[in-house]
Amino acid sequence: MPSVTEMLYALGLGSRVVGVTSNCDYPPAAKKKAKIGGFFLNLEKVVSLKPDLVIMVEDAQRRDIDRFRSYGLPVMTINPRSVDDVMEALVSIGQKTGKEKAAADLVAGMKRRLAAVQPGVPGLELVLRKRPKVLAIVGYNPLIVVGGGTFIDDIMRRAGAENIAGSSRAAYPQYSLETLINERPEYIITTREIMNARGITRDPRWKQLSAVRDGKVLVMDGDILSRPGPRVIDSVAQIAHFIYGKKIK
């Protein structure tokens, strides 16, 4: 998974990576590694690389995890569903690969940046009960938003935002434009890959939203927003900066 590849490189393990998926594009050096498939993984190619460790994500690769283990491959699984889970996964991988100190240093840096977000939010302790109403859009046709209990929902919460769809039972519920208009989000978060701010502002229906009229639409790099990897703090910082105007390094 791209998020795992990012973790390995962040821990200084890039030279020991022998294979990645075709979706692993960060850091750029990862693109030069042998490819073992994309959505569908090539078991034979993995076996041919003779890995000492195969790191997989439980929720996304459950079927392949069982298949790889049945062939005797040394599979380690992680399952990050929150910012804290990402840091725990980095520590676990560090322990498994002899990079305990690198993992500890990386996580400590992530925690420092995360702690810097809240002091940077003016009067955050006073607005916790009335956070700005924000909606994250991850699909356009149909319109798909981020629900509660998801990785991106946790990012939004840590950035000081109230996820309008946070009470949804679905992880990624489908919205109609009418529902979106009725919810009246103060800010909208989306990605370049889904649609851009110009596209929204050019559609007269979207101009019924104050967030669109006031230019409060944040267009993010979809990989940074959606990948549960070491760049997750970048997402928190970008959203906090967009809402509160305080830039976090």
Reported as a single tens digit per residue, the pLDDT across 108-166 is 999 999 988 865 555 555 445 578 999 999 988 788 999 999 999 999 999 989 999 99
pLDDT at 246 over 70: no
- pLDDT at position 126 is 47
* CB-CB neighbours of 7 under 10 Å: 26
pLDDT of residue 248: 58
Element counts in the chain: helices (H) and strands (E): 12, 10
| CA gap 64, 4 in Å, rounded | 15
pTM of the model: 0.90
For residues 201 and 173, the answer to whether their CB atoms sit within 8 Å is no
Positive or negative torsion for Cα 134, 138, 140, 142: negative
d(CA 249, CA 228): 19
Can you give the pLDDT at residue 107?
98
How many Å apart are CA 33 and CA 37, to the nearest integer? Answer: 12
Q: Provide the pLDDT for residue 156.
A: 95
pLDDT exceeds cutoff 70 at 201: no
pLDDT: which is higher, 195 or 42: 42
